[in-house]
Amino acid sequence: MSSDALTELKGQWNAVLDAVLEVDRIAWLAFFDARLVSLVGTTLTLAWQDSEKFGGQHDFQAVRKPEHIAKLVACIEDVTGQTLTIVEQ
């Protein structure tokens, strides 16, 4: 997919996060500060390089479990119609 596809997904990301929040608040916490780095084919790369910018512990890597990733993938599909694979940077 092109950078246009990533830009389009970024434009829909708040709707994706809203859908995740409706399904599972813990999953939402795990992804709300993720940065969309790249979209190559059907692989979406996420990063959390800004998680240290806040005071106190703010890295939710420990709660990013397979079931939360599955919920994110399902919400991405519901909102955008795309079935993506998520990888972390």
Which residue from 55, 58, 67, 57 is spatially nearest to 27, judged by alpha carbons? Answer: 67
The span from the CA of 38 to the CA of 2, in Å, is 9
> CB atoms < 10 A from the CB of 49, how many?
10
* 8 Å CB contact between 4 and 39: no
Whether the model clears a pTM of 0.75, i.e. scores above it, the answer is: yes
Helices (H), 1-89: 3-23, 25-31, 66-80
Report how far residue 77's alpha carbon sits from residue 57's, in angstroms, rounded to the nearest whole number.
Answer: 31
Q: Which tens digits make up the pLDDT trace of 12-50?
A: 999 999 999 999 999 999 999 899 999 999 999 999 876
In three-state secondary structure terms, 47 is strand
Query: What pLDDT digit, counting tens, does each position of 50-77 carry?
Result: 645 555 555 555 557 899 999 999 999 9
